[in-house]
Amino acid sequence: MSGFRCRACGGTRVPLILPLGRTPLANSLVSPDVARTAEPTYPLELVFCEDCTLVQINETVPPEHMFSDYAYFSSFSDTMLAHARTLVERVVGERGLGPEHLAAEIASNDGYLLQYYREVGVPVLGIEPAANIAKVAEAKGIRTVVEFFGEALAQRLRADGVRADVIHANNVLAHVPDLPGFCRGLAALLNDGGRAIIEVPYVKDLIDHREFDTIYHEHLSYFSVTALDRLFAAQGLSLVDVERIPIHGGSLRITAAPQGTPPSEDVSAFLEEEDGLGLTKLPFYARFARAVEDLRTQLTGLLQHLRAGGHRIAAYGAAAKGSTLLNYFGIDCRTIEFVADRSPYKQGKLMPGVGIPIVPPQFLLATRPDYVLLLTWNFADEILAQQAEFRAQGGRFIIPVPDVRVV
């Protein structure tokens, strides 16, 4: 896009890494009575900022088009619930949190994480812009502000005497158009000794494992430790700890604190490693487009071969990443009969851009397709275990990323 400026530092040196064409919004599931020609599409291009090293897309769709009414409920994933519970137990123990403290979460969804703080008596505050999801959290007794988080909201809460001892932000920073304002908001809302614990997919894993399907319009940015360290330092925060976690195909859990807090040795080690591997320079990312094209050839070739042999194919997981994969690879209802998904909020609708109907998982046993394309490959262990009966009856799953394999 001509005139695009990096959303972290404002830099203008942002060369293209991977063009994915025009696609619909990945979570904008379609009612069956809406013609596919009526679906809006937007350019989807991945670029690299040579000034601050942030990888990002160069199109910003207004957030209210994507998040004011949202179809993703975290509590429908057993993996996410177990991940949240484990994290809360760890933070409560390490930080000594109790009734006199406050745990907040930005993009708190349906209360999947804050419910575990509430269970042990720690007061909670959720901040969630999707009103339909916030209602579910409120019904669980989780106080929720229905608003997008940023510096203005943080200052308003602070003026009302609200300061947090811990702020969680899981898989939200990538969605933020105004990264500097978001970080200033964190700095304003944190207590002097508070910590912000942020989880983001790691750009190194995206490149190494060909996770191109995590690129969609909601995900504006794709982070390295270097990019995060530079972003925080410019906005009154210090990156004080970092660890790699396996969720979502490979993520970072980073801890930020008010500026001046010394970093752990792990932070320095990550920064040195990224520099040594080349994550701070464009050539590291240049090979990505070729790797994605190779993956497209592998998967579409397999599906065409199976269909030519008379095999029936379904898919599992009506997730945003599935929308990117199906649309970019040109896989539609002529190849895939249906997409099974546990969420009743998605069932009865169609996958964006490709018109594939979304149905309950029971359809797998009821209709017995020969192969199932696992679009939510990041939850492969959980889903394969859930579908043990289907697999015992001969059903096979195709896992598309990082390499195409049949299980």
- Quote the pTM value: 0.88
Residue 1: its pLDDT value, please? 43
Q: What is the mean pLDDT of the segment spanning 114-121? A: 96
Whether 292 shows a pLDDT value over 50: the answer reads yes
Whether 313 shows a pLDDT value over 70: the answer reads yes
Q: What is the mean pLDDT of the segment spanning 220-247? A: 95
Q: Are 326 and 353 in contact (CB under 8 A)?
A: yes
**Tokens representing 371?**
């192969």
Whether 345 shows a pLDDT value over 90: the answer reads no
Residue 79: its pLDDT value, please? 82
Q: What is the mean pLDDT of the segment spanning 376-383? A: 92
For 174-193, write each residue's pLDDT tens digit.
999 999 999 999 999 999 99
Q: Are 159 and 125 in contact (CB under 8 A)?
A: no
Written as one letter, the residue type at 28 is S
Q: What is the mean pLDDT of the segment spanning 367-392? A: 95
Query: How many angstroms separate the CA atoms of 254 and 206, rounded?
Result: 17
Confidence of residue 384 (pLDDT cuts 50, 70, 90): very high
- Torsion sign across C-alpha atoms 232, 72, 377, 61: negative
Residue 36: its pLDDT value, please? 61
Domains of the chain, first to last? 1-63+193-286 (no CATH), 288-406 (3.40.50.720)
Q: What is the mean pLDDT of the segment spanning 15-40? A: 87
Confidence of residue 248 (pLDDT cuts 50, 70, 90): confident
Q: What is the mean pLDDT of the segment spanning 350-356? A: 95
Residue 73: its pLDDT value, please? 65
Cβ count near 63 (within 10 Å):
16
Instruction: Give the burial class of 124: count Cβ atoms within 10 A of its Cβ; 0-12 exposed, 13-18 middle, 19 or more buried.
Output: buried
For 297-310, write each residue's pLDDT tens digit.
999 999 999 999 99
Q: What is the mean pLDDT of the segment spanning 17-30? A: 92
Q: What is the mean pLDDT of the chain?
A: 93
Query: How many angstroms separate the CA atoms of 17 and 222, rounded?
Result: 12
Q: Are 215 and 42 in contact (CB under 8 A)?
A: no
Q: Cβ contacts of residue 46 below 8 Å, gap of 6+?
A: 16, 17, 18, 19, 20, 55, 56, 57, 215, 222, 288
Q: What is the mean pLDDT of the segment spanning 274-297? A: 95
